[in-house]
Amino acid sequence: MLRRFKIVIEYDGTNYFGWQKQKKGETIQELIERALLPLNGGRRVRITGAGRTDAGVHALGQVAHFDMETELDPGTIKIVINANTPKDIYVTRCEEVDKSFHARFSAKRRKYIYRIARRYSPFDRLFSWCPPYELDTEKLHECSKLVVGKREFVRCCRSTCKAKSKECVVFESFWKEGERFLEYHVSANRFLQSMVRMLVGTMIEVARGRYTVEDFKNLLENKTNEVQVLTAPAKGLFLKEIIY
């Protein structure tokens, strides 16, 4: 009998070309599908992820589903996947779900965190961005509040983005200040390609004094082409959680 399984995955995206399978390099999807081959008689199992993280982006709670004919319990499937994937990819949960569940289309919210290091450390270099500027954190807070709501994020996605609609509903957007890091927290019904990194990069440009908060507001409202959008490095971005 064909059964549907849901898995939750953590991964360090440093050495991968993102989530989605592609020709130019190894991806998370490809390696997990490869890990499932022994459980399916060597036949490919297609897995579907909740979101397509870019090359170098990390995940604390990526979700995927797949269908497979097996009598194995979810716990055993989890063990086999983890035994057959590199140490920088780890399935934290595996459970059987109803056939109506879809990792991507059933999702209500997606949550991301972007981490800015307050000072450079070799131990944080692969998991945060350390901009070489003095930053006005009050301006970061002001900018983040402007992101909340429903809008067309036309300027905050890559030109190669194939999404027909650029409309997203952002539920929360705020900066959290810690001793070592500034963390940007954002959740929305959907995100466009590189959207979070573009928002962060441009907010940093405001915080360093290159643009004003009003410039950022006009960018979000698609009222200006004079603001140059900066894309923050992938290494500071984490897919935190998928809400169903």
Helix (H, G, I), strand (E, B) or coil at 32: helix
Cα angle value 80/63/108 (rounded, 5°): 160
Q: Which residues contact 71 (CB under 8 A, 6 or more apart)?
A: none
Per the listing, tokens 């698609």 go with: 222
Containing 75, the helix (H) or strand (E) segment is helix 74-83
Which of 12, 54, 67, 215 is catalytic? The answer is: 54
Residue 140 has φ and ψ, to the nearest 5°, of -60, -45
Residue pair 80/35 in contact by the 8 Å Cβ criterion: yes
* 54 has catalytic annotation: yes
Residue pair 234/127 in contact by the 8 Å Cβ criterion: no
* CA proximity to 237, closest of 15, 91, 55, 90: 55
Residue 237 pairs in a beta bridge with 114
Indicate the burial class of 81 (C-beta count within 10 angstroms; 0-12, 13-18, 19 or more). buried
Catalytic residues: 54
